[in-house]
Amino acid sequence: MSAFSEAALEKKLSELSNSQQSVQTLSLWLIHHRKHSKIIVGVWFKELKKAQGSRKLTFLYLANDVIQNSKKKGPEFTQDFAPVIVDAFKHVNRDGEEGCKKQLGRVLSIWQERAVYENNLLDQLSHVLYGEKKTKKRSYEEIHPDDEGFASQSSPSDPPQTAELIRALQELENAASSDSVLRQRISSLPAEVQDTSLLHRITDKESGERLSRLVEEACMLLADYSGRLAAEIDDRRQLMRTLTVFLQSQKDGLAQNEQKLEEYKRKLGRVTQVRKELRSRIGNLPGRLYNSSN
């Protein structure tokens, strides 16, 4: 893991791309150097304001990844991002690419669901995007698929769109549990980094330092994967609830359409009867009488 410096951070931010791998790689580096969190956040905010409109949203994705995956190691990033995150949202919402508001809303929704920040700060972010205080969603722990209040909490007039479900399912294809390369790296970790009973094999400082580096890399690898798995679990729980709402909306739509079908069948029957009787009546009427002068 390369040493930290402001110049190194600026270079890495300039090379940051919108790919998941690029964001996660830099996020892991930042979390490793979390003792410099204040400097990191300051440089991040400065470079965000200098970035082209097409790259600004990626800076928010990076902040999101760092904030969520660093929580188990300490509160540094969550605390240090707090003073600038509202201004960062304002800046990206104003100067970012067209359509970025929806993606910012998705990040905010995740932070609301996972209670990443206090309600006051989340309300400020909501105000930046929507101009008014939105009703705070219940946290995951407060909602259960069999919760009797769950259906009533979800507006039947505003079910999730099919495109949203497809996107959520596609995102799960790149989730932690699907990362076979990373799982292989974890399964290939040497026994020495997992078993304290083997520490007696260290006989000199050089071998100890070598094992220390391996242990540090293993800790980072496992912490990163654990954080991604935890996030995936939350995403799958949210998707399950979204599917519950979607399924209910489909059931409601089906019932309504079945009622309409019966109604239109009755109407068709009446119109068909009118047509039948009209044809019969027309067939019994005399032909048109023409004036002989014509």
At 3, list the tokens: 């040493």
Q: Which residues have a Cβ under 8 Å from the Cβ of 211 and sit 6 or more positions away?
A: 192, 193, 202
Residue 203, pLDDT score: 84
* pLDDT score at 159: 65
Q: What is the dihedral of CA 54, 60, 65, 66, to 10 degrees?
A: 120
190 three-state secondary structure = coil
Residues 47, 13 contacting (CB under 8 angstroms): yes
Work out the widest C-alpha separation in the chain, in whole angstroms.
130
pTM, rounded to two decimals: 0.48
110 CB burial (10 A radius; 0-12, 13-18, 19+): middle
pLDDT in the model for residue 19:
84
pLDDT in tens, 161-182: 777 778 777 777 777 777 778 7
pLDDT of 243 reads: 85
Q: What secondary structure letter does DSSP report for 139?
A: P
pLDDT confidence of residue 148: 37
- The whole-number pLDDT of residue 83 equals 94
Given this model, what pLDDT does residue 160 score? 67
- Name the CA radius of gyration of the chain, rounded: 30
Q: Are 29 and 66 in contact (CB under 8 A)?
A: no
Q: Which residues of the chain have pLDDT under 70?
A: 1-2, 132-160, 288-294
Give the model's pLDDT for residue 146: 41
What residues contact residue 21 under an 8 Å CB cut-off, 6+ apart?
none
What region, left, alpha or beta, does residue 218 occupy, with left being phi > 0 and alpha being psi -120 to 50 degrees?
alpha
Distance CA(20)–CA(215), nearest Å, equals 26
pLDDT of 154: 36
Residue burial 58-78, b: 16+ Cβ < 10 Å; e: rest = bbbbbbbbbbbbbbeeeebbb
pLDDT at position 152 is: 34
CB 70 within 8 A of CB 116: no
pLDDT computed for residue 258 by the predictor: 92
Can you name the CATH fold of 1-137?
Answer: 1.25.40
* Confidence (pLDDT) at 242: 80
